Chain A
Amino acid sequence: SQKIEQNSEALNIQEGKTATLTCNYTNYSPAYLQWYRQDPGRGPVFLLLIRENEKEKRKERLKVTFDTTLKQSLFHITASQPADSATYLCALDRSNTGKLIFGQGTTLQVKP
């Protein structure tokens, strides 16, 4: 079965630095991969989607890369701010059915 691994340890960085979160998956390559942000007590909120034929996607301070050979996606937040502190979830859809499999998430803490 499909498995997604995200770094379970919290990532602590200083304000202004670039945060890099990793998402690794096994078995089948997904049709696309998504990143969501989740704040305590709230539902996940969509951030970015990258398709299997795309290498990189950007949105303001966010950047996602997708390496289907390594079976890995990297999520970058440049010029990080304390407001970026949250849990970030990686999710993939193997066959473009809309059925998402989520990773456990990585908690990011940006210190002022």
Chain B
Amino acid sequence: DAGVIQSPRHEVTEMGQEVTLRCKPISGHDYLFWYRQTMMRGLELLIYFNNNVPIDDSGMPEDRFSAKMPNASFSTLKIQPSEPRDSAVYFCASKEREKGNIQYFGAGTRLSVL
């Protein structure tokens, strides 16, 4: 398996623009997680899905953030409108419940909002 695949790897945008980050989890995994990592706050969980259904979105910072999982092999995290303070590395991770609680992370998307 290719692992968790995220795109794009880097995104530079201007304040006010819409940003969409994409994630393809490992095939067969039934959980998907979106994290944000900054120097100040470390790695924070934003939202997670189980079987494509959002379970906990308490980490989503504001209404400007939204996440969807239309099917088992694809998820998006959207920021609209983007702000400079959204600049961070966004990670997607997936896991398979039957095989324990190990999460497999993608390489991340480095977002810069100017």
Q: Which A residues are within 8 Å of any B CB, using their own CB?
A: 32, 34, 41-46, 49, 89, 93, 96, 98-105
Contacts and interface: CB of A to CB of B under 8 A. Distances in A.
B93 A43 contact: yes
A98 B107 contact: no
6 contacts: A46-B103, A49-B100, A96-B101, A98-B95, A98-B101, A102-B43
Contacts, number: 48
Nearest to A51: B101
Interface of B: 4, 31, 33, 42-45, 48, 56, 91, 93, 95, 97, 100-108
Q: B interface, by DSSP: helix, strand, loop or mixed?
A: strand
Contacts of A42: 107-108
Contact of B42 (A46, A93, A96, A105): A105
